[in-house]
């Protein structure tokens, strides 16, 4: 038990840091729950929502301590994401694994195209309608409720246009959206008694530390360094999803 707790906390530190700066590290939590604690996927997936709450909360604290204020509109965007989190939590129990992997792979491709595309002056001066950002936040919430894995990547993809590609501002805004959506999703699973608390709390403790430290790093290093992390993590996650899809298709 002690060994499982220590390793889970260590994986949580990595998961919290990566998810704060980019996303896609939720698979570390699933691996810890399945391999160290022997949880089936139906229990492992809901139990990761506790760590998502910790990631969002401690990311916000890290940004505040570093002197970077979270925009007020980010909390409004988070509220727009709450209904999506409720919908996604219901989808989590009804859609097959292959649908999930195909969906996540498509999101990762869109994120990579967005981050690798060169900017020009016209793009920098063009501001998207605010209603489009709020619609995108509903999508973030649905993703959080459905799979959680990759929520940071989805949030980056949606929010980067609303904050004119300033990835430091995007990270700060993402923390507010993650807090509200993860609390909503976690509340649904708590109500359904679907969370295994000992492993969930161990992972959350590590995620809190990793997320807090990553906030300081993100503010210190700036948008260019964060962008490189986003690209690397997205590419690795995409390769992993494509591998799973290929295995599923060849086995049928």
| Spatial separation of the C-alpha atoms in residues 53 and 48, rounded to whole Å | 9
For tokens 């494509």, what's the residue? 242
Q: What pTM, to 2 d.p., does this model score? A: 0.80
239-248 long-range Cβ contacts below 8 angstroms, 24+ apart: 240/27, 241/101, 241/104, 241/105, 241/108, 242/105, 244/101, 245/98, 245/101, 245/102, 245/105, 248/97, 248/98, 248/101
Domain boundaries, position 88: 2-251
66, 216 in Cβ contact below 8 A?
A: yes
Q: What angle do CA 153, 158, 162 make, to 5 degrees?
A: 130
Q: 184 near 85, Cβ under 8 Å?
A: yes
Number of domains forming the structure of the chain: 1
Q: What percent of the chain is predicted at pLDDT more than 70?
A: 88
| pLDDT category of residue 145 using cuts at 50, 70 and 90 | very high
Q: What is the mean pLDDT of residues 5-27?
A: 86
Please check the confidence at residue 223 and state whether its pLDDT lies above 60. Answer: no
């Amino acid at each position: 038990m002690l060994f499982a707790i220590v390793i889970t906390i260590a994986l949580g530190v990595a998961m919290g840091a990566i998810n704060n700066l980019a996303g896609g590290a939720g698979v570390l939590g699933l691996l810890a729950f399945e391999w160290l604690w022997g949880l089936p996927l139906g229990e492992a997936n809901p139990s990761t929502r506790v760590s998502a709450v910790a990631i969002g909360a401690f990311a916000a604290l890290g940004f505040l301590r570093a002197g970077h204020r979270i925009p007020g509109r980010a909390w409004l965007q988070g509220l727009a994401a709450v209904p999506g989190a409720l919908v996604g939590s219901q989808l989590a129990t009804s859609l097959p694994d292959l649908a999930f992997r195909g969906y996540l792979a498509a999101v990762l491709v869109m994120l990579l195209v967005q981050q690798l595309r060169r900017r020009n002056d016209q793009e920098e001066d063009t501001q998207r309608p605010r209603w489009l950002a709020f619609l995108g936040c509903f999508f973030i919430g649905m993703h959080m409720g459905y799979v959680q894995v990759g929520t940071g990547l989805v949030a980056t993809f949606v929010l980067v246009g609303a904050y004119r590609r300033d990835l430091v501002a995007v990270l700060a805004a993402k923390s507010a959206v993650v807090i509200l959506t993860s609390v909503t999703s976690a509340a649904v699973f708590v109500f359904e008694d679907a969370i295994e608390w000992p492993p969930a709390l161990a992972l959350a403790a590590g995620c809190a530390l990793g997320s807090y430290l990553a906030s300081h790093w993100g503010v210190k290093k700036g948008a260019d360094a964060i962008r490189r992390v986003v690209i690397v993590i997205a590419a690795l996650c995409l390769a992993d999803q494509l591998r799973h899809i290929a295995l599923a298709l060849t086995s049928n």
